Chain A
Amino acid sequence: MQNTPIIEVNSISKTFGSFEAVKDVSFQVNQGDVFGFLGPNGAGKSTTIRCLLSLIRPNTGQIKLFGKTFTSNRAMILSKIGSIIEKPDFYKYLSAQKNLEIFARISGAQVSKKQIYEMLEFVGLSGREKHRVKGFSHGMKQRLGIAQTLLHKPDLIILDEPTTGLDPQGIIEIRNLILRLKTEQNKTILLSSHQLSEIELIANRMVIINKGKTLVEGTVSELLNQQEVLIVLDVDSADKAMALIKDRFPSSFPELNVRGQIELTLRKNQTASLNRELNKAEIAVSALEPKRKLEDFFIKIIGS
């Protein structure tokens, strides 16, 4: 059932006045996917996510969730979705528990007080349930947002920048939580994030959009493996190594960076031969490491 489409976005466009926020965006998220939704600021990610939650109506195109459109299935669709959009906002004058009770009451599911306490404990907010949200840090609000998202056990989870404002420990916890939701409960997750390393680590499929348009869509491994790898090379003799690389790997465009390291682009299967050639020329290699692939891929796609 892994290829059962949960989200189908077909050529949606949305304009606000004369500004085209989204132009012909299409992608598909299948059941069990952790789907990375990438794009720079202003790319149209939030508008697209809001369209998925019926907060904004697209001017053209069609959205299907769980195989159905919003037209006559809005309540059924939204009862199966848990979401955080941009940042979790709560009623500041109410306690964490009261906030969750309010959202649970209209979630379309029966949620007991015990479940609310368990969820608060799950996100690390036990002991703070009676505290007003007014005094919560951004990280605590994010955790409460996650609790609100998961409370009614949704099949599809939409998380827009879920790790923003979290400390490194919090980021790891959220990452592990997403992986657990996927592996243990087979939840479908759409994850929009600026943390490209997060997407690279946890997403199996992704789409990159820019200026309201879809640029690429596919599995993370396919998209990244198709590309060349950016290698950072630390050697004892940079000049000698540069000459050798220009001679043997002319299309790798080697450059010296500010740290005196050589940066070059190679096809993945050329990395071993580069190491061999350097050893043969008696150049001591102290480091040969690929840089973050998705970051470079992202910049390249956006730049193009």
Chain B
Amino acid sequence: MMFFKNTYNEFIKIAAKPRSYIGLIALSVLIAVIIFAMKADGSTYISFVTASFEQTLSFSGDIMNGNLIAFIILQMLIVHIPLLVALVTGDLISGEANMGTIRMLASKPISRSQIVLSKFTAGALYTLLLTIWLGFLSLYVARWIFGTGDLMVLTSDGLIIHPESDIEWRYIYGFLTAYLSLLTVSTLSICLSAFAENSIGPIVSTMAIIILFTIIGTMDVTVFDTIKPYLFTTHMAAWRSYFEDPVPWDAINESIRILIYHNVILVAIALFQFNRKDITS
């Protein structure tokens, strides 16, 4: 019962903080900019991508539709959204230490584990809200402006065209998997927050870890090959796999498993740290 009450408290705190709206506003502005750019000069962008296929394929119909715009938006923004997530979730525990409210919170009849789990739950729901907002703007607003149609996707194997009737489920699964990736970022930043007493440290550390892991993941060095499959950043683009043909279900399931493991381990670390911590702030 106390857990639910405190989770509700956490929502109130998140909703009242101005920084919580930065992510939503930033997403709206970024998507508006991409949509504007595509509306203004999208045909040049599309012909650049399709140029190499024009000798062997002829394109009929409106390739540049809402489904393609959504795919482009997702590809462009999925790298940047972790910062918007960490901006809010990285502050959830350390922000309380920074303000001094942590000692008032921890001296109430609620267990420390419940405090931490409430924060993870609130962080997860904020991340879900951000993902839904991203989905709504990129998919539904883009479809409203550009109309709908078949989806043309360029993969490492070539060009794939998904018929309009075969797209919706790919996006639903894609967004769910993208949410799991962002949730891992949220969990990582909350975990780091349990070790810090200031707001900025966990946010910067989260981004530093993502950048470091991404660099390791892209470096073609044998020594990193053994750890690459276990880095969560390797699996952050798993959402794209739903747009391949055939869908590599085994690889997707592996990515989901690794991301879930990361979440469980990070929550456990945060619980351990916060429970053993002396609150001196």
Contact = CB atoms under 8 A, between A and B. Distances in A.
Q: Do A and B come from one complex?
A: yes
Interface of A: 16, 50, 53-57, 74-79, 81, 83, 85-94, 98, 102-103, 105-108, 148
A218 B18 CA distance: 51
B109 A74 contact: yes
Contacts of B109: 74-79, 106-108
Given A74-B111, A78-B108, A98-B16, A50 B5 contact: no
Contacts of B5: 105-106
Given A92-B99, A93-B18, A94-B12, A108 B279 contact: no
24 contacts: A16-B280, A50-B280, A53-B103, A53-B106, A54-B107, A55-B103, A56-B278, A74-B111, A75-B2, A75-B110, A78-B108, A81-B107, A85-B103, A86-B100, A88-B104, A89-B100, A89-B103, A90-B99, A90-B104, A93-B16, A103-B108, A105-B6, A108-B2, A148-B104
Interface in B104-156: 104-111
A92 B110 CA distance: 22
A55 B279 contact: yes
Contact of A90 (B8, B12, B101): B101
Contacts of B8: 105
A83 B111 CA distance: 17
B96 to A, nearest CB: 9
Contacts of A50: 103, 278-280
B106 to A, nearest CB: 6
Identify the 5 closest CB pairs spanning chains A and B, nearest first.
Answer: A89-B100, A75-B109, A53-B107, A55-B279, A79-B109
A120 B265 CA distance: 43
A103 to B, nearest CB: 7
B18 A106 contact: no
A37 to B, nearest CB: 16
Given A56-B279, A89-B99, A91-B101, A106 B9 contact: yes
Interface of B: 2, 5-6, 8-9, 12-13, 16-18, 99-101, 103-111, 278-280
A78 B99 CA distance: 22
Contacts of B18: 93
A90 B12 CA distance: 14
A79 B99 CA distance: 23
Contacts of A90: 99, 101, 104
B107 A98 contact: no
Nearest to B114: A106
B103 to A, nearest CB: 5
A3 B110 CA distance: 30
Nearest to A46: B280
| Residue from A53, A83, A93, A102 whose CB has the most chain B CB atoms within 10 Å | A102
A106 B6 contact: yes
A110 to B, nearest CB: 11
A55 B13 contact: no
A91 B91 CA distance: 13
A99 to B, nearest CB: 9
A102 B13 CA distance: 9
